[in-house]
C-alpha cells in the first residue's frame, strides 16, 4: 500500500510468500501460493496471484475467496476501483476420489454477489477481532462473516440443529453456501453410516 501510495505507477507492489530459505528445507508444509502482485492503472487496482499448484476441490474455493477479499480490501484502502483479478497456477489438479463430487457441482448456477467488504484500514484489526469473536460489527458483509463463523463453530461442537438455525438467518451467498455445506456434511455422514452398517 505504501509503495502504491508513493508511486501509483509502481511495478514493485508485491507480497512474496515463498521463501526458499524456509520452504526448500525439506519439510512438507510448503505454501502453494507463491505471492501476490498489485498494479494501479487509471484508478483501478489489478491483482494477480501466482501459485505453484492448486487442488480444484480441496483448496481452490477457499483460496479464491481469500484472494478476492484481499483484492477488494486493498483497493478500498487505496481508494481505487476494483480492477481485474488474475490467477496463475503452475499445476491445476483434482484427485480421483473428488471427481464425482466436483462433477455434481457443474449443474449449480452462480451464487449471488457478496456484499461489499471494503472498510477503512484504520480500525481494521479491531474489526477482525470482532469478527473472530463473532460480535456484531455494524458492517453487513463482515457481520455475515461473523455469523458464518458462529454457526460453523456450533456445527463443529456437535450442535447441528443450532448451527442450521443460525445459518438460516445469514442473508446472501454465505448463508446459502453454509446451508448447502451442512446438507453435504449430513449426506456424507449418512453414507458413512450406511457403509458401516453394511459391513
Residue by residue, pLDDT tens for the chain (199 residues) are 999 999 999 999 999 998 888 888 887 788 899 999 999 999 999 999 999 999 988 888 889 999 999 999 999 999 999 999 999 999 999 999 888 877 876 665 666 777 889 999 999 999 999 999 888 899 989 999 899 999 999 999 999 999 999 999 998 888 888 888 898 888 888 888 887 776 6
CATH class of the domain comprising 1-105: alpha beta
Q: What does DSSP assign to residue 10?
A: -
| Per-residue model confidence (pLDDT) at position 35 | 95
Which helix (H) or strand (E) covers residue 46, if one does? strand 44-51
| Per-residue model confidence (pLDDT) at position 57 | 87
In terms of Cβ atoms closer than 10 Å to its own Cβ (0-12, 13-18, 19+), residue 56 is middle
Question: Residue ranges of the domains in the chain?
Answer: 1-105, 130-199
Question: For 181, phi and psi rounded to 5 degrees?
Answer: -65, -40
Can you tell me the distance from the alpha carbon of 87 to that of 83, in angstroms, rounded to the nearest whole number? 13
Question: Contact at 8 Å (CB) between 51 and 13?
Answer: no
Amino acid at each position: 500500500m505504501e509503495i502504491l501510495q508513493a508511486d501509483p505507477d509502481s511495478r514493485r507492489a508485491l507480497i512474496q510468500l515463498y521463501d526458499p530459505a524456509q520452504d526448500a528445507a525439506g519439510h512438507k508444509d510448503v505454501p502453494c501460493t507463491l505471492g501476490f502482485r498489485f498494479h494501479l492503472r487509471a484508478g483501478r487496482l489489478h491483482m494477480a496471484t501466482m501459485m505453484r499448484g492448486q487442488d480444484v476441490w480441496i483448496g481452490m474455493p477457499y483460496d479464491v475467496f481469500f484472494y478476492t477479499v484481499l483484492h477488494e480490501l486493498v483497493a478500498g484502502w487505496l481508494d481505487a476501483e476494483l480492477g481485474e483479478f488474475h490467477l496463475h497456477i503452475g499445476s491445476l489438479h483434482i484427485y480421483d476420489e473428488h471427481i464425482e463430487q466436483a462433477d455434481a457441482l457443474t449443474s449449480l448456477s452462480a451464487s449471488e454477489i457478496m456484499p461489499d467488504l471494503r472498510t477503512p484500514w484504520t480500525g481494521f484489526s479491531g474489526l477482525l477481532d470482532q469478527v473472530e469473536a463473532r460480535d456484531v460489527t455494524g458492517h453487513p458483509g463482515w457481520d455475515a462473516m461473523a455469523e458464518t463463523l458462529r454457526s460453523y463453530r456450533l456445527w463443529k461442537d456437535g450442535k447441528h440443529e443450532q448451527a442450521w438455525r443460525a445459518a438460516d438467518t445469514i442473508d446472501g451467498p454465505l448463508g446459502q453456501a453454509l446451508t448447502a455445506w451442512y446438507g453435504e456434511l449430513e449426506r456424507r455422514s449418512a453414507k458413512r453410516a450406511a457403509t458401516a452398517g453394511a459391513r
